[in-house]
Amino acid sequence: MSDRVYIFDTTLRDGEQSPGASMNTAEKMRLATQLEKLGVDILEAGFPAASEGDFEAVKKVASKLQRTEVAGLARTSKSDIDKAWGAVQHAVKPKIHTFIATSDIHMKYKLNMERDQVIKTAVEAVAYAKSLSGNVEFSAEDGSRSDRDFLCKIFEAAIEAGASVVNLPDTVGYAVPEEFEELVKYVISHTPNIHKAVLSVHCHNDLGLATANTLSAVKAGARQVEVTMNGIGERAGNTSLEEVVMALHTRPNYLASQTNINTEEIFSTSRLVSMITGILVQPNKAIIGANAFAHEAGIHQDGVLKNPMTYEIMKPETIGLNRNKMILGKHSGRHALKDRLKEMGYDLSDDEMSLVFQKFKKVADRKKQILDEDLEAIASEGLIRTSDIFRLEYLHVTCGSTVLPMASVKLNVNGRSVQGADYGNGPIDAAFNTIAKLAGTDAELLRFSVSALTGGTDAQGEVTVRLKENGLIALGKGADPDIITASSLAYINGLNRLEYLKAHPVESAEFR
């Protein structure tokens, strides 16, 4: 059996199904490029039949990537498979991924089908997909709660019909490691033609066991793992790419398997996913959390100073932290900035570069040193711009312990300047109330979060808001050394995205 484990990344598909984490096409393209740089073997770019917007996004990603397999998800229907193939057919390595539920509870209540009907449907779907693409994966949805022998039977039939990968998902995160390991072993030993296909696993984190279940499956013989960056995904999320990869990297004595992941790109990829989705990484998150390589206890600090391996089982440089890098400041020129952004994976057009350079100079006038985290915020603001219906021209806030917080705002609305003032419970609330009044919106603020991009009192504050209006949900982001300004920029960015979704209903459509 090969000791190579293939990394199937579904951040753009299953990860995007995190509540409120929808990405537009430009964001998917940027993230797909970074995931290829990270070294994922297969990238599931989306569910082409879900909406026309998803179809176009998958199609563009498929045309862009040069090395990575690009998969499109499809139910076991001809129309879904046609959509998937239409979206991925121009990829260097296209893949069709089709699925049907196999657990008794799903077959009875969701599909209203008998077992023989499910097998027949799966075989027909795989055979049809195989007639279009030589690269077909079949998934048995809710596999961990399926009858073992039925699972083996449908996998055997799918492989016979042309599937080169069969996937065993723990769709609802119900399995525990020992049980899942035994299930994988059983499937391998009781599926006669399993040697003709790669066995994959796809675990969810409802019980916090996704990574443990995935590693147990690898130990039992699975050779493809389906993961997302930062573990984002439906409900409690998916198996974290970084956790599985670094477990295999760190414990080769126990898990004698390797991946093709460039681990030094893990941190930058994690950061990009967080910036695009607005889902912050918890400080104590394994591998990529802010505290993952931090030491506060005196005993730990003493040990790390003498030998980092006393309390660190991984070097931070392994995931891309603490790399030597050029420090940029207000005297840095356009060429130096462009070179640094290119090293970070940003391939900007001349117009985008001009926007980014202007923003860079403004920030550099207020910060002594511009770090990579600052550059990511600056560049992302330029790359994910939508139609700017609203633009901040002026902001003045009065607040303190003895005054009622008030904000005075001048806003450009479709090229026309409007201004006004309003009060609030605090300076940010006052700013939001004023902006909402000038923009004429009744959008509901679902979430507001603040984080510092770097250390120091001059750090840029990064603000993420989630807004809802007329059933549409949009993410807004803003960064500035002044946290009230950053909050206002994030709110305005969210309003602009809502306007964009209103004008582009296809991109805002969600598949249920």
Q: Could you identify the residue written with the tokens 């202007």?
A: 358
Strand 165-170 and strand 390-398: the pairing is unpaired
Position 472 scores a pLDDT of 86
Q: How many domains in the chain?
A: 4
418 shares a domain with 473: yes
Closest alpha carbon to 199 in 140, 117, 133, 260:
140
Q: Is the pLDDT of residue 101 over 70?
A: yes
Containing domain of residue 268, as a range? 6-277
473 shares a domain with 357: no
* Residue 28 resides in a domain: yes
Position 110 scores a pLDDT of 96
319 shares a domain with 464: no
Position 301 scores a pLDDT of 53
236 shares a domain with 164: yes
pLDDT digits (tens, 9 = 90+) for 484-505: 999 999 999 999 989 888 887 6
Q: Which has more confidence, 159 or 254? A: 159
Average pLDDT over residues 403-421: 95
* Residue 283 resides in a domain: no
Backbone angles phi, psi at 424, to 5 degrees: -165, 180
159 shares a domain with 109: yes
Residue 475 sits in a domain whose CATH number is 3.30.160.270
* Residue 479 resides in a domain: yes
pLDDT digits (tens, 9 = 90+) for 8-30: 999 999 988 776 677 878 889 98
315 shares a domain with 193: no
Q: Whole-angstrom Cα distance, residue 185 to residue 429?
A: 56
* Residue 285 resides in a domain: no
Residue 292 pLDDT class (50, 70, 90 cuts): confident
Position 342 scores a pLDDT of 78
Q: Could you identify the residue written with the tokens 């990270």?
A: 38
Residue 362 pLDDT class (50, 70, 90 cuts): confident
Residue 40 sits in a domain whose CATH number is 3.20.20.70
How far from chain centre, in Å, is Cα 413?
A: 32
Position 300 scores a pLDDT of 54
CA distances from 29 to 49, 209, 255, 489 (A): 19, 30, 33, 24
pLDDT digits (tens, 9 = 90+) for 78-96: 999 999 999 999 999 999 9
CA angle 304, 310, 311 (to 5 degrees): 75
pLDDT digits (tens, 9 = 90+) for 327-344: 677 777 888 888 888 777
Q: Whole-angstrom Cα distance, residue 389 to residue 381?
A: 15
268 shares a domain with 173: yes
pLDDT cut 90: percent of the chain above it: 64
Q: Helix crossing, 372-383 with 25-38: angle to 10°?
A: 140
Position 275 scores a pLDDT of 81
Q: Whole-angstrom Cα distance, residue 218 to residue 203?
A: 12
229 shares a domain with 84: yes
149 shares a domain with 71: yes
